[in-house]
Amino acid sequence: MSEQTKVSARIAGPRDAGEGGTPPVNDSAFARWLADRAGQVLLHVRAETGHEDGKALKAAGDQAAHDLLRAELARWRPADAVLSEEDDHSRVAWTEGGNRPDRLGANRVWIVDPLDGTREFSEEGRDDWAVHVALWTADSSAPARLTAGAVAMPARHCTLATDHAPAYPPMPLESATGGAIRIAASRTRPPAFVTALAEDLGAELVPMGSAGVKIAAVINGEADAYVHAGGQYEWDSAAPVAVALATGLHASRVDGSPLAYNQADPKLPDLVVCRKDLAPRLLAALQRHLP
């Protein structure tokens, strides 16, 4: 057994699955419970592995959180399908050996990202990384058919979830922002047009890691919008978008079309999340700057 496997087995192996007690029956509360458990595992892995070898830390974290989510979903939601970043991304994710339903024919699909902001997780002192757990339900009338979602930000000791949807963010005080719109964007892979977009709107760019953390910043009122384009997958946004929509925020593709999850191809390369009052102005500006 490799060192890495030992760490993940000790911290997150199926034998430990009962450690968190019996989870809530309610899906939103279960999403929070699950994201929190994976978050605890990630904090342990970070503490035990250290930051010397960033690549090894990323791999150990991804694997341990994935193992935890996989074991707990198999144990507590065995009839549901799962789409996870750490699986092969084909339409039959998690069918192998697990008798899980084909996610494209399933009514309930958990869309999970065991570690979002993997790069930041491996950098000492950074707290902008997250665990995403979302539930997509085919027959739901909820926006984007996302019926539950949780974003755990373990290094911030904060989890946002649909069981207690946060209050709509307060309008920013002009004195605090200088009147400028604050747009959260990737610190390492921002869209090529985002600087021109910010100039057009007289906006300030706020770089940070993790899609979940950036959407959480909009939910918490620390940013007014999150704009991304150029590549991403369903698991990068499903859970934080579930919380943002439950909060009453705007979330769509950058061209204004709706976000759709549990698609055959899990690529979902762009999105915008922002306050509702800002959406018309931001989408109009995006039209001017999209390539």
Ligand X SMILES: Nc1ncnc2c1ncn2[C@@H]1O[C@H](COP(=O)(O)O)[C@@H](OP(=O)(O)O)[C@H]1O
Q: Which of residues 169-228 bind ligand X (CB under 6 A)?
A: 186, 188-189, 209-211
Residues 6+ apart with CB under 8 A from 204: 177, 178, 180, 181, 182, 183, 198
Residue in 86, 224, 236, 270 binding ligand X, rule: CB under 6 A: 236
Binder of residue 188, out of Mg ion, ligand X, none (CB less than 5 to 8 A by kind): ligand X
Q: Which does 232 bind (CB under 5 to 8 A by kind): ligand X, Mg ion, none?
A: ligand X
Quick one: 200 exposed, middle or buried, by C-beta within 10 A (0-12, 13-18, 19+)? middle
CB of 85 to ligand X, least distance (A): 6
Total residues in contact with Mg ion, by rule CB under 5 A: 3
Under rule CB under 6 A, residue 54 binds ligand X: no
Task: Say how many residues make up the chain.
Answer: 291
One of 80, 116, 163, 224 touching Mg ion (CB under 5 A):
116
DSSP state of 143: G
Integer Cα distance of 173 and 5 in angstroms: 49
Q: How far is the CB of 194 from ligand X (least distance, A)?
A: 11
163 belongs to the binding site for Mg ion (CB under 5 A): no
- By three-state DSSP, how is residue 276 classified? helix
Which of 67/85 has CB closer to ligand X? 85
Quick one: which of 120, 123, 265 has its CA closest to 207? Answer: 120
174 is annotated as contributing to ligand binding: no
Determine, following the binding rule CB under 5 A, whether residue 67 of this chain makes contact with Mg ion. no
- Return the percent helix, strand and coil in the chain, to nearest 5: 45, 20, 35
Segment interacting with Mg ion (CB under 5 A) among 12-20, 38-46, 160-168, 233-241? 233-241
Q: Which one of the spans 114-122, 191-199, 201-209, 256-264 is the region binding Mg ion (CB under 5 A)?
A: 114-122
Using CB under 6 A as the binding rule, the residues of this chain from 83 to 122 that contact ligand X are 85, 113, 116-118
Contacts of 50 (CB under 8 A, 6+ apart): 57
Q: What residues does 111 pair with on adjacent strands? A: 83, 134
Tokens at residue 129, please?
A: 């990384």
The yes or no reply on residue 224 touching Mg ion (CB under 5 A) is no
Q: Is residue 279 close enough to count as binding ligand X by CB under 6 A?
A: no
- Does 265 interact with ligand X (rule: CB under 6 A)? no
- Rounded least distance, CB 62 to Mg ion, Å: 10
Q: Name which of residues 74 to 113 contact Mg ion (CB under 5 A).
A: 113
Write 53-62 long-range contacts (CB < 8 A, 24+): 54/122, 54/123, 55/122, 56/4, 57/121, 57/122, 58/115, 58/118, 58/119, 58/121, 58/122, 59/4, 60/4, 60/7, 60/8, 61/114, 61/115, 61/118, 61/121, 61/122, 62/86, 62/114, 62/115, 62/118
Looking at the Cβ atoms of 63 and 118, the one nearer to ligand X is 118
**Residues binding Mg ion (CB under 5 A):** 113, 116, 236
**Residues binding ligand X (CB under 6 A):** 85, 113, 116-118, 186, 188-189, 209-211, 230-232, 236
Annotated binding site: 85, 113, 115-116, 236
Annotated binding site for Mg(2+): 85, 113, 115-116, 236
